[in-house]
Amino acid sequence: MQEYKTIEDLGDLNGKVVMLRADLNVPMDENFHVTNTARIDRTVPTIKLLMKKGAKVVVISHFGRPEGKGDTKNSLSHVAPELEKALGSKVVFVEDCIGEAVKNAVASAKNGEVLLLENLRFYDEEKKGNEEWAKELTKYADAYVSDAFSTAHRAHASMVAAAKNLPSAMGLLMAEEVNALTNGLNNPKRPLMAIVGGSKVSTKLDLLNNLVKKVDKLVISGGMAHTFLKVLGVAAINEENSLVQMDMLDTAKEILATAKANNCEIILPNDLVWSKEFAANAEHKTVDLDNIPAGGTLLDVGEKTVATIKDKMAECKTVVWNGPLGAFELKPFDAATNAVAQYAAELTQAGKLITVAGGGDTVSSLASAGVDDKFTYISTAGGAFLEWMEGKELPGIVVMKK
C-alpha cells in the first residue's frame, strides 16, 4: 500500500471540508426501505475517522440509474436515515450535489458533522467524466477521499477528475480492498488457485487469459466448463443439454495451450449433475462425462469433481474466487458451490489458506453457503473486482498513486 495515498497523507483535517466518494448504491424495496446495508456499513469506519479528525464530511455517491435527471425513486434522501443509523450521529441531507445548496450547507456545518449530497447521476456530466463539472462538485471542499472501490473501474467525474482537483487519498475500505486483492492475485502466497464459474466463456475471456498466466491452478466450472469439456472430446455435450458455445471452441483451445505453456494446471469437472429441467428440486442425477443423457440440462458438478477441487485446494496457500460452480440459485444445484465454499472457509479459519472472493453472484452464493464471514476477504465490488482480476488498471485506483 506504500504506493498509494492514504488519509494520513492529508495531514491535519481539523476544520477542513473533506469530500468522501462512497458507494451507497444499496438495494431498496418499493417502499424505499434499504434491504441490505452492507455498503453503508463498510464505509462507516472511514466517515468516523474523518469525523474524529474534526473534518466536515461531505459524502457523495451515485444511486440507481436516473440517466442524468432527478427523480424521487433514485434520490439518496432514502439512504440518509440508514447512514445516520449506521453512524449513530446526525446526517444532513442536501438536495443537490453542486451549487448554492451545497455552499450553504457546508458553511452551516460544524467540525465533525456529516452531509450527504444528492445523487451524482442526476447529472449527465458525472458519467461522462466532465472535468468542468467536477470543479463545481469539489468547489467547496479542501480534500478528497475515495472509498468507492466498486466504482473504481469507471472514469466518472467523481472518481477521477474530482480526485485530481484536491489533495486526495484512499479511504479505509478502498485501501482494504486494494490490499486484499494485491495479496490475493498480484503478490500472493503460493501455490495460488483461482476458481472461475459463470455461464459463458465469452463473458470471461479477459479473465481466463489473465489468470492462466498468473495462477498455479485454475478451476473452471459453471456453464463455461462445458465449452472446455467439448474441446477435450466429451461428445455428449451439445447446445441442447448444456451451455457449450460452439463458436468459442478455438478460443478455449488457445486458453488451454496458454495454460500449459505457463505451467497452470486446469481443473475441469469429471462428473456433472444432470437434471430433467431448469427448476428447483427437479428430477436429477449425477453422471460421468461418458454417460450424459441426450435431453435435459447440466446444472452442477458432481461429488467426484468436488473431491478433486478440495484435494487441489489443500495443496494451495491462496484462493481467489469469482463465480459459482453451478446453478446455485436453484436447490439442490447449490451443493457443489456450498461444499467447496465451506471447505475453503474451514481451511481459512484454520489459518491454512488465504481466501479472496468477489462479484455479485459469488457474494450471494457464499452467503447462501453460510461462509460470507469466514473468508479472508469478500469484495463488495462486481465489475471493479472482475477487471482487477483481468489485470486491467482501474482509473479510480491509478489516480490514488503517489
Q: What is the dihedral angle through the alpha carbons of 119, 120, 122, 127, rounded to the nearest 10 degrees?
A: -140
Q: Which of 54, 64, 112, 383 is catalytic?
A: 383
Q: How far apart are CA 308 and CA 272, in angstroms?
A: 13
Q: Which of 5, 16, 39, 230 is catalytic?
A: 39
Residue recorded with cell 452551516: 108
To the query of whether residue 360 is one of the catalytic residues in this protein, the response is yes
Catalytic residue among 64, 70, 360, 382: 360
3-state secondary structure of 59: strand
Those residues whose C-beta lies under 8 Å from the C-beta of residue 273, and which sit 6 or more positions away, are 284, 285, 286, 287, 298, 299, 300, 301, 302, 326, 333, 335, 336
Closest CA relative to residue 102, chosen from 113, 110, 91, 93: 93
200 is catalytic: yes
All three cell numbers of 348: 481459512
Write out the three cell numbers for 262.
Answer: 505457463
Active-site entry in 64, 70, 135, 200: 200
* Helix residue ranges, H only, 282-334: 303-314
Sheet holding 377-378, edge to edge: 265-267, 217-220, 192-196, 318-322, 354-357, 377-378
The set of cell numbers assigned to 116 is 450527504
Q: How far apart are the first and last CA of the chain?
A: 10
> Known catalytic residues?
39, 200, 360, 383
